[in-house]
Amino acid sequence: MRHEAIRSVEVGGAAPYRIDIGPGLVYDGALLAQRVRGRHVLLASDSNVAPLYAAGVREALHAVRPELQIGTFVLPAGEESKTLAHFGDAIEALAALGATRDACVFALGGGVVGDLAGFAAACWMRGVDCVQLPTTLLAMVDSSVGGKTAVDIPQGKNLVGAFHPPRAVLADTDLLRTLPPRELRAGLAEVAKYGAIRDPLFFEWLHAERAALLAGDPAALAQAIARSCEHKAEIVERDPLEKGERALLNLGHTFGHAIEAEQGYGGMGNDNLNHGEAVAVGMVLAAKLSADLGLASAEDAARLAALLGAYGLPTRIPAGLAPEALLARMRLDKKNVAGRLRLVLWRGIGRAEVVPDVDEAAVLAVLKN
Ligand code: NAD
Ligand code: GLY
């Protein structure tokens, strides 16, 4: 049953798929079942999301396909679970299910579940289907789309992973009602990123609609998700493996990942920044560095900081993180080539670019300020 309020974004390329956005999607058994080719489903989720939604998804699927064998895998909630050890647990769950090559992994959760379960799907029998059921705003606008899957290791974020595009993405906007406000704000950082890197009009809209977005207004959120997915789809369709323009989606991420790795992963229940918050700080630092290098105006950097600040996001590096240690982390970024710092910087709002061989002294100066 398709609902009128559903918006769809097609992702083209070698492995095309559709992103559906709207209310009620994860309980639409027929829609879920369309994506299942075989008899085995692993429903992967985390300890916050599973009690809220996993039973409903399972029942909806079973109502339409009673013969399906549905296993459940529940990860302890939080970034600290995105590890090789828990990846191994997901693989064990697929093995226990007896999952064959036509199995399907449903990733019901935020980016942590999506990245880890997607990586398990990429590796089990060298690749089985994965359907992304994102439950955070961040996952709906970014991590569920484009096929990047990974886990963290102590040396850095997302250093072990694979490109494995999903078979479908079903972004059920009803699920955002239970999302903690801090996580909603974290998602808004990634939404703002699309305006910052390629869409000045969207940037303006995000500023004008900030109260509605922060209040969780369904229409405003659906519009923000759809526009973000259109941007992401356009980029990953042209550059699925990040050989070129996809790197622009990482504005602020080299700084942000360094902060996350240096503070220790986490966010809920402690003072550490979560991923979206770290990206917010990182984007402000990238914009400041761009201004320092004469690429962009300081006014545009201030406008970006103002938007993120209006969303209640942090815009400064947390106290206690040493600039030299952050720089050392940045040297391990996947975008670097031949030992040179390669960063996404910008020419102003809506105009990001990859800058190879960025002067480390300039980066250190921004980290110190
Ligand atoms: P997350 O998955 O940790 O979710 C945040 C918190 O919200 C968790 O505690 C979770 O249990 C809870 N939660 C999720 N949905 C909920 C709901 N509907 N109701 C109540 N609670 C809910 O974090 P995230 O911000 O979604 O994702 C961050 C991760 O995504 C990072 O690991 C980051 O590296 C990754 N990421 C990947 C990509 C990619 O392209 N693959 C892009 C961006 C980010
Ligand atoms: N979130 C960055 C990317 O998907 O490339």
Q: Which atom of ligand 2 is nearest to the CA of 190?
A: 1
Average pLDDT rounded to a whole number, residues 110-126 = 98
Which residues' Cβ are closer than 6 Å to ligand 1? 46, 48-49, 52, 77-79, 82, 109-113, 115, 135-136, 138-139, 142-143, 146, 148, 157-158, 175, 178-179, 183, 186, 268, 274-276
Distance 151 CA to ligand 2 centre (A): 14
Categorize the per-residue pLDDT at 338 as very low, low, confident or very high, splitting at 50, 70 and 90: confident
Could you list the beta-strand ranges (E) of 1-155: 7-11, 17-22, 40-46, 69-75, 104-109, 129-134, 148-153
| CATH T-level fold of 181-368 | Dehydroquinate synthase-like, alpha domain (1.20.1090)
CA distance readout (Å), 54 to 47, 59, 97, 149, 259: 10, 9, 17, 21, 32
**pLDDT tens by residue, 307-325:** 999 999 999 999 999 999 9
Q: Ligand 1 pocket test: which of 130, 183, 232 has the largest number of ligand atoms within 8 Å of its C-beta?
A: 183
Provide the pLDDT for residue 335: 79
Mean pLDDT computed over 198-219: 97
Average pLDDT, the chain: 95
Residue burial 222-246, b: 16+ Cβ < 10 Å; e: rest: bbbbbbbbbbbbebbeebbebeebb
Ligand 2 pocket member 277 (CB < 6 A):
no
At residue 41, the pLDDT reads 98
* Tokens 């006014």 belong to residue: 299
Q: Which fold has domain 3-178?
A: Rossmann fold (3.40.50)
Residue 347 tokens read as: 């020419």
Q: Supply the residues annotated as catalytic.
A: 126, 148, 190, 232, 242, 246, 250, 253, 257, 275
For ligand 2, say whether the CB of 250 is within 6 Å of any of its atoms: yes
pLDDT class of 66 with cuts at 50, 70, 90: very high
Single pTM value for the model: 0.96
Domain coordinates in residue numbering, the chain: 3-178, 181-368
% residues pLDDT > 90 (the chain): 92
- Pick from 130, 135, 172 the residue to mutate for probing ligand 1's pocket: most ligand atoms within 8 Å of its CB: 135
According to DSSP, the residues that pair with 41 across neighbouring strands are 70, 104
Mutate to test the pocket of ligand 1, among 113, 115, 140, 197 (most ligand atoms within 8 A of CB): 115
**Coil, helix or strand at residue 131:** strand
Beta bridge partners of 172: 22
pLDDT tens by residue, 20-37: 999 999 999 999 999 999
Q: What is the 3-state secondary structure (H, E, C) of 258-276?
A: HHHHHHCCCECECCCCCHH
Asked whether 254 lines ligand 2 (CB < 6 A), one says no
- In eight-state DSSP terms, residue 337 is B
Q: How many residues comprise the chain? A: 369
> Residue 190: its pLDDT value, please?
98
Contacts of 287 (CB under 8 A, 6+ apart): 196, 296, 300, 301, 304, 305, 346
The Å distance, Cα 240 to ligand 2 centre, comes to 10
Label residue 1 by pLDDT band (50, 70, 90): very low
For the segment 245-281, what is each residue's pLDDT rounded down to a tens digit? 999 999 999 999 999 989 987 655 567 999 999 999 9
The pLDDT value given to residue 336: 80
* 333 SS3 class: coil
Q: Is the pLDDT of residue 218 over 90?
A: yes
Report the nearest-CA residue for atom 28 of ligand 1: 111
